[in-house]
Amino acid sequence: MEQRAPIKILALNWRCVRHPQAGGAEINLFEQARRWVRDGHEVTIFCADPGRARAPKRDEVMDGIFIRRRGGRFTVYFWAGWFLLWHDRKFDRILDVGNGIPFFAPLFTSKPVVLLIHHVHARQWFSEFRYPFAFIGWFLERWGIPKIYRRTQMIAVSPTTLDALVAMGIDRSQVRVVYNGMVLPPVTSTPRVANHRIAYVGRIKRYKRLDRLVLALVALRDEFPDIHLDIAGDGDARADLESLVKRMNVADHVTIHGYVDELAKAEILRSASVFATPSMQEGWGLSVIEANTFGCPAVAYDVAGLRVAIVHGKTGLLAKDDQAFTEFIASLLRDTELRDRLGVAAIDWAGRFSWEQCAHQTLAIMSEVSREKETHRVPRGNEIA
């Protein structure tokens, strides 16, 4: 690949990979950043602070990446703006990662900004938050992004995210699609065991609609007495999910692992017959492709993002409603031939997505963004609190 002159990149992201609720957005950023650093670029990531239990040091260098942590779930936006005002002269490019609400970096810097959008939340705000917070989030996304980023180059992680941005009033020529990458697991000669295990890996949020997955398991329990659901991940809807599992009397059939390391996650995906996600919307579906690398076909609802990550009838199945979602899971649990056929195609599909290619494309976009004349709004200091 073409060797580019070293640039200094500041990425603004909601969380870091040490955060207990880290998800696809964090994997995407850190996998790319590691490759940028390897290729001679300097990368700093500014994100929320999960506390010393998760991150022993507030600021650290991880795999050559400088990580600056300040604030919490909401106050990180204030600290990021403050950091930009005082330190943007140290960087050549700003990567503003929008995971719901972006950091509105153009308000705080004249340096070139690229906005990376994973997915547009739209009405999802009202399933995750109560009024007025839901309205504020919806308004900032629906009206803030088109106004504040009207001259900003954007990256969408899938065509569905691109279409959602265009529907918000963003010019299509302003957005480029860069797919997430994937690291393929080592090839193993160990055959997949025919079992009735279902896997879900991801955050436990209301919009993920994991209650539908539990109810599907309840409906299938009579046909598959040994059915088991492994849920790897954490989130603020975990207590509600645990309560539902108890009420449905399926505690013996469900394991909520919480946050797991890569080895434990690989074991869960390798031992599952089907990966199932009832999420109402995704930007891409990184966890689906990750499951595919282990030869695990996926079942999901036919919604934005997931209909791009899953090739219906080839790498998995897309359901139109709850009944179809349950039946598709049952089909993969009872039909070994179907499961194996989809699993082989899933491995081939996952192999098409590379972090090397993803990082190269994103870097190329950042490098091409024209540099505006730098104007500093306030005197610069040396450090933030």
> DSSP string spanning 18-53?
TSTT--HHHHHHHHHHHHHHHTT-EEEEEE----TT
- Measured CA to CA, the distance from residue 209 to residue 279 in angstroms comes to 5
Confidence of residue 326 (pLDDT cuts 50, 70, 90): very high
Give the three-class secondary structure for 300: strand
Residue 53 pLDDT class (50, 70, 90 cuts): confident
Angstrom CA distances, 381 to 8, 88, 255, stand at 19, 11, 50
DSSP state letter for 103: -
Helix, strand or coil, per DSSP, at residue 55: coil
Please give the C-alpha separations between residue 173 and each of 98, 151, 156, 162, 357, in angstroms, as whole numbers.
Answer: 19, 11, 12, 10, 21
Q: Report residue 194's pLDDT band, with 50, 70 and 90 as the boundaries.
A: low
- pLDDT score recorded for residue 185: 75
- pLDDT exceeds 80 at position 383: no
Asked if residue 187 has pLDDT above 90, the reply is no
Angle at 40 between CA 35 and CA 42, to 5 degrees: 85
Side-chain half-sphere of 156: how many Cα atoms within 13 Å? 24
pTM above 0.85, yes or no: no
User: What does the pLDDT read at residue 174?
Assistant: 95
User: Quick check: 350 and 181 in contact, CB under 8 A?
Assistant: no
Helical (H) or strand (E) element with 96? strand 93-98
The tens digit of pLDDT for each residue in 233-272 reads 998 899 999 999 999 999 999 999 998 988 999 999 999 9
- Helix H or strand E encompassing 269: helix 262-271
Res 145: pLDDT: 93
Mean of the pLDDT values across residues 68-84?
94
Helix 322-334 with 336-350: angle, nearest 10 deg: 100
pLDDT at 384: 43
pLDDT of residue 385: 40
In eight-state DSSP terms, residue 379 is: -
Neighbours of 313 (CB within 10 A): 12
Helix (H) or strand (E) holding 336: helix 336-350
pLDDT at 222: 96
Q: Which residues, 6 or more positions from 289, have their beta carbon under 8 angstroms from its beta carbon?
A: 180, 182, 309, 349, 350, 353
Rounded to an integer, the average pLDDT of 214-232 is 97
Q: Contact at 8 Å (CB) between 9 and 41?
A: yes
Residue 361 in contact with residue 180, Cβ under 8 Å?
A: no
Cα 243 versus chain centre, distance: 26
Task: Transcribe 198-267 into DSSP letters.
Answer: EEEES---GGGTHHHHHHHHHHHTTT-TT-EEEEE---TTHHHHHHHHHHTT-GGGEEEEES--HHHHHH
The model's pLDDT over 29-51, given as tens digits with 9 standing for 90+, comes to 999 999 999 999 999 999 999 99
What percent of the chain is predicted at pLDDT more than 90? 70
Q: pLDDT tens, 265-311? A: 999 999 999 999 999 888 778 899 999 999 999 999 999 889 989 99
Query: What is the overall mean pLDDT for the chain?
Result: 89
Give the model's pLDDT for residue 370.
66
Is there a contact between 158 and 179 (Cβ–Cβ < 8 Å)? yes
Q: Which residue type is seen at 315?
A: T
Domains of the chain: residue spans and CATH: 8-181+354-368 (3.40.50.2000), 197-350 (3.40.50.2000)
pLDDT at 279: 94
